[in-house]
Chains A and B, each alone.
Chain A
């Protein structure tokens, strides 16, 4: 009964948060009201079934956040026994939680193989999550049926890292950009071509590219096409999965500025995945640092670049070159390689390479805690006590 009560409380909160959203956008009032009730009842049923009910689950959704990720896990089975049951997992994303406010950009940084891309794809359910919840506009993406999800797809888009393989080679650009628009009936058929040309113009593509094929374009142009393809669907939220890492520096700047301009014009929310820290600093409002599938630090860009708290973040940011020969660099060189995410170290995952490793780090995993101003860190260097916020 107690469980039920907390859930109904959550339900009330969900509806309440939706009510706030409705006040913001009164035009969509009627359209939003009906599906919310449905999903709310669904979450009640499912919560009863799983009966895990963590304390966090009863927390209300942040009405300001367009996306809220709670304890997201994505494990890939790497070894199976004779009967095909997995015995070992690669923990690509392990217990990650964060929120993104509307109209802001969250930069996700980390070494290669730390699960950034997997995180981006799991959020959009391009691969099923192993555990945790993803709330997009108050809807739990993990529990949606394929049909409902397909309806929601236009409002959350992704721009891929490799502009060479993310365009179908046998389709002209106009059709690539327009096909999903037609599929979701975002504009009437007669206006489709004008609409596509308009989007192309916004993304800096001349209109005579409409009938051309992807192989006729350079990497930078292709990335513009990818951006146009995503933005043609009028998304609210876009995952940019290393959109500039395949491009040279001058084109990188163009694409980044294009993304920023479009964000202002269309009020977009971005998750910007990159391992290029200077790019992330330029574009992001918030930065999340990932290490071996876990988020170790999360704060506003200014905060995290000025006062990195986690030793890994410090080491990572010390590698950013400063374009001034007089500045003496204090690089923190990490010893050893990144451990395998299949056999992640116990306790704090970073303890094998941390210069300030303590005994407790090897045994107990640190909590991901807020140390004021929304600066969240998972490290034993700071007080793990729930009551007293450190510093």
Chain B
């Protein structure tokens, strides 16, 4: 079917939905039987249902906002990633207390030294720095934008990798069963025995010891989060395929002599996809949390690269930041909350939208 025909048919179908299926098709009866068939694409149905829920729209706005903020925002920022602000006319005030004892009397003197600041550290909220600067003199707003880039990219890449490994291994286990299933599920069992956080701590220490360059550490972190995370997807896919395999439409596919490839990719995967997409969307939030946890423990994204988690970890190094400088750790924290909430809202909305029986 070419593009114009599709458009035509879509127009018809939208008219039909409100009135009746027979009314719309009569108009094009004279064209040809084959052409008058209405084209109602499944994606359109899902999108339509998705936008019926207010929460999923809110979630979508949150995530789109964060993406624009992280990927478009830095273009408008006058500051660079990981570069401190040296151009400042703020003065550094150092007060030194001095005690003198003269004739048995104690005199306390204060020496106040005012020197021009080399680096604009811990600047308050101003027109120059909308969210101030952190302890290293980097603009918090710009750092949050770049941190979003890394955090969001990591979460997407990790989730896609998890999905690939999980679908392939879980699918093999579920479809073929027997010793393939036993082997793969025992590997899954072994992986699920590993405690995530201690393992990541050890890996972080090893990477430190090996003096891995900062950029490479981000890649390593993605790989290790994936390795610890794919088992959930594999279990889900296997379980789904096991139950689908026994359904009569699969027996019917065998009876009709369809190839294994077609049975897997046209019958099994599309039926697993909705669950998978929902799990993955919810998983995106989970990965952001995991990444933040690791970054907070200084195992994740190292300086000069910023990630939301590592920005919050600034409170760990300088206790005054937690008390007096909300503008340093607040924004990345809010971003994490927004991202996780947004992904969860979208995930829930998609779950409802994918269910063909939902009548909401």
Contacts and interface: CB of A to CB of B under 8 A. Distances in A.
A215 B357 contact: yes
Interface in A112-133: 121, 124, 126
B33 interface: yes
A193 B259 CA distance: 21
B266 A179 contact: yes
B258 interface: yes
Interface stretch (A67-75, A164-172, A304-312): A164-172
Contacts of B270: 168, 170-171
A165 B257 CA distance: 18
Interface stretch (B38-46, B79-87, B194-202): B38-46
A211 B256 CA distance: 21
Contacts of B36: 207-208
A258 B298 CA distance: 72
B22 A124 contact: no
A168 B33 contact: no
Contacts of A165: 247-249
B42 A183 contact: no
Interface stretch (A28-36, A40-48, A147-155, A382-390): A147-155
Q: Name which of B21, B22, B33, B39 has the most chain A CB atoms within 10 A of its CB.
A: B33
A372 B33 CA distance: 54
A211 B257 contact: no
Interface residues of A, number: 41
Interface in B23-72: 25, 33-34, 36-40, 42
Contacts of A184: 257
Given A166-B249, A167-B249, A213-B42, A126 B37 contact: no
A151 B252 CA distance: 15
B257 A150 contact: yes
A79 to B, nearest CB: 20
Contact of A158 (B21, B22, B255, B356): B255
A208 B25 CA distance: 7
Contact of A197 (B34, B40, B257, B273): B34
Q: Contact residue range for chain B?
A: 20 to 34
Interface string A303-346: 00000000000000000000000000000000000000000000
A135 interface: no
Interface string A17-36: 00000000000000000000
A194 B33 CA distance: 8
A210 interface: yes
Interface string A189-206: 000011001000000001
A182 to B, nearest CB: 10
Contacts of B251: 121, 126, 158, 160, 166
Contacts of B42: 170, 172, 213
Given A153-B257, A215-B357, A171 B266 contact: yes
Given A183-B258, A215-B357, A166 B37 contact: no
Interface in A137-188: 149-154, 157-158, 160, 162, 165-172, 174, 179-180, 183-184
B40 A212 contact: yes
B303 interface: no
A348 interface: no
Contacts of A197: 33-34, 37
B182 interface: no
B262 interface: yes
Interface string B252-272: 111111110010001100110
A105 interface: no
Q: Name which of B40, B252, B270 has the most chain A CB atoms within 10 A of its CB.
A: B252
Given A168-B270, A183-B259, 6 more contacts: A150-B259, A166-B251, A167-B252, A174-B37, A197-B34, A208-B25
16 contacts: A154-B257, A160-B251, A160-B252, A166-B252, A167-B249, A170-B273, A171-B266, A171-B267, A180-B256, A183-B256, A194-B33, A207-B33, A208-B25, A226-B252, A230-B256, A233-B256
List 10 A-B pairs, minimum CB-CB distance, nearest first.
Answer: A153-B257, A180-B256, A166-B248, A150-B257, A210-B37, A170-B270, A165-B248, A168-B249, A193-B34, A215-B356
